[in-house]
Amino acid sequence: MPRKTLICICLFFLLLPHAGPVQASRSHIWPEGTWEREYGSLHERILRGDVEEGDRKFLVWTCGRTFSNDDCAGYANRLLGLASAFLASVLSSRALIVLWHGDESLQLHNFFRSSLIDWRFTERVKSAVGDPRQLAWTELDFTSWHLSRWDHTSRTLLVSMEKGDFRDMWRSNMQAIRRMGITRMRSWAG
């Protein structure tokens, strides 16, 4: 597995405090800040509908347009794309929802659980977002990684970022990331 892929996968799981099968320490990467709790609170308020209707926005990540495993990349590429989708949802103040394909026993939430974010595509989420097969795909232009260039008008962004380049997105949005209180990432994020 390439080093960059491994770093992005590790970052995704280090960003969230986990309750369940995975536990990780982030203290050696950056001092504990409030952004995790703030995003977790926003995420939950969006799911409950406790925000202004114009602020109730979602980023639904899935690995392929056929909603099956047939057109998905391997797990490492999926997790790399998922790390990029997580960063995109934090930077754009959207609730991240993961539409992971496959049997229930292979669902991501069976292996990685966050105590702050419920990213599962549940019936509650489906009632708020709608049937993903009926949603228009949003083609985020990830050649222009800066947040200001994205379409923020859509309530739900249905995206597939199997091989999203986390490092380029990170570099292009450093001011927003610093405002969240994360400042000591240069050594490994490049």
Sorted by sequence, the CB contacts under 8 Å of residue 164 that are 6+ apart come out as: 80, 81, 83, 84, 85, 88, 142
Cα–Cα nearest to 72, from 107, 111, 104, 100? 100
More confident residue, 130 or 143: 130
User: Which of the 8 DSSP states describes residue 58?
Assistant: E
pTM listed for this prediction: 0.68
pLDDT band for 174, please (50, 70, 90 cuts).
Answer: confident
Lowest-confidence pick of 14-23, 41-50, 153-162, 173-182? 14-23
State pLDDT tens for residues 76-86. 777 777 887 88
pLDDT at residue 46, rounded to an integer: 94
pLDDT of 51 > 90? The answer is yes
Question: Does position 169 have pLDDT exceeding 80, yes or no?
Answer: no
Task: Look at residue 121 and tell me whether its pLDDT is greater than 80.
Answer: yes
Given a cut of 60, is residue 5 above it in pLDDT? Answer: no
pLDDT at 21 over 50: no
* 61, containing H or E segment: strand 58-62
Cβ burial, residue 135 (10 Å; 0-12/13-18/19+): middle
pLDDT at 95: 93
pLDDT of residue 133 exceeding 70: yes
pLDDT of residue 99: 81
71 pLDDT exceeds 80? Answer: no
For residues 39-49, give the mean pLDDT. Answer: 92
| Percent share of the chain, pLDDT over 70 | 50
